[in-house]
Structure 1
Amino acid sequence: MRSRRFPVMILAAGAGLIVVVAVAGWCAGLRINMTPSYALGLWRIAPLDRAVAVGDLVFICPPDTAEFERAFDRGYIRRGLCAGDLSPLIKTVAALSGQRVDIAERVSIDGKPLPESDVQHRDAAGRPLSPFVGGVIPAGELYLHSDFPGSYDSRYFGPIPSSGVLGLARPILTLSP
């Protein structure tokens, strides 16, 4: 009887240790990125003790909207602990409130082309994508971007509330893109 309990106890202890390490990592702001928009691997949410700026790489919770639920249904984003049970996004802040975004075949911000911003009209599965119509970024919102051509970013969902920023995204242990 004793010999049967020992492996079960070892497995239970191992599972418990994994849970403790995962919870500790989560509480320390560690996250695993499994999307191709930025390097795959372990990232950390670093505190942001200033206003968000253009060029900041941030973790941000998407708003709980039908657009993001559709994005989840299509597999663009995953479930997580943000509103609507969505996972945070890692994106670069490309424009702030008051800046003008124009979208054609590429994105321009305040009249300057945004590098690596070609607009796709179909996703990788061949489904139609509708680009954001453009305009002036409203107060309290951010326009987000990723250089990855297939990224689901503000080219498609438009600006989102800056109140969703969790902090700066810092790679810890990642694979090069």
Structure 2
Amino acid sequence: MLGALAAAFAYGGYRVNFTPSYAYGLWRIEPLDREVRAGDRIFICPPADTAAELALERGYLPRGLCPSGTGPLIKTVVALPGQSVEIDGQVIIDGEPLPFSRVLSADAEGRAMPVYAGGQIGEGVLFLHSDFVGSYDSRYFGPIPAEGVLGLAREVLTFAP
């Protein structure tokens, strides 16, 4: 029974979310057979860099099977290559403030947060966001490579606290 359940998770694209960035519970990675669009909620593996190291060190992300050593992120794509992102207390995309995008200077434990400097989104990268104020997303680590996209994130059995 446990083996069958493990196989369903490993090969069926199911993941359990334990972070408050999106609803807790069971999610599925749905194949993406088109280009990523702004507004897509996706699963993505962050690159192995200092942002992933910080996320693991501070417990923002669980350990997982992504090349960075983390589990995949569930985030919404809010800016694509060619778009301009400004950080001024919140995220501003192409001159328009992004709702629920306040940028924090410190995390819940008072540790200083790195903040993305802003700029034009380059080819091959995506700017990601979650409406949860404490989310560790592109506000802090900047755009990340689109090659890490695993697929669309679909809720299966979730709940919001």
Q: How does 1:99-110 map to 2 (within 5 A)?
A: 99-110=83-94
Cα distance in 2 for residues equivalent to 1:95 and 1:173: 28
Q: Which residue of 2 is the match for residue 79 of structure 1?
A: 63
Structure 1 runs (4+) greater than 4 angstroms displaced: none
TM-score, length-scaled by structure 2: 0.97
2:146 maps to a residue whose letter is S
**Percent same amino acid among aligned pairs?**
58
Deviations 1:58-109 (A, max 9, x none): 0000001122111110011111111032110000000001100000111100
Q: Which residue of 2 is the match for residue 172 of structure 1?
A: 156
8 Å contact from structure 2 (residues 89, 103) kept in 1: yes
Q: Which residue of 2 is the match for residue 12 of structure 1?
A: none
Q: 1:35 aligns with which of 19, 26, 35?
A: 19
Q: 1:121 aligns with which of 105, 108, 111?
A: 105
Q: Can you give the 5+ residue segments of structure 1 that lack an aligned partner in the other structure?
A: 1-16
Q: How far is 1:131 from its partner?
A: 0.9
Q: Which residue of 2 is the match for residue 160 of structure 1?
A: 144
Q: Which residue of 2 is the match for residue 9 of structure 1?
A: none
- Count of residue pairs brought into register by the alignment: 161
Equivalent residue of 2:68, what SS? helix
TM-score, length-scaled by structure 1: 0.89
Cα distance in 2 for residues equivalent to 1:99 and 1:41: 33
Equivalent residue of 1:152, what SS? coil
Q: 2:78 aligns with which of 66, 91, 94?
A: 94
Answer yes or no: is 1:142 the counterpart of 2:129. Answer: no
Q: How far is 1:22 from its partner?
A: 1.6
2:63 maps to a residue whose letter is R
Cα distance in 1 for residues equivalent to 2:155 and 2:62: 19
Q: Can you give the 5+ residue segments of structure 2 that lack an aligned partner in the other structure?
A: none
Deviations 1:113-153 (A, max 9, x none): 00000000010111001210000011000000000000000
Cα distance in 2 for residues equivalent to 1:86 and 1:117: 24
- CA-atom RMSD in angstroms: 0.8
Larger Rg: 1
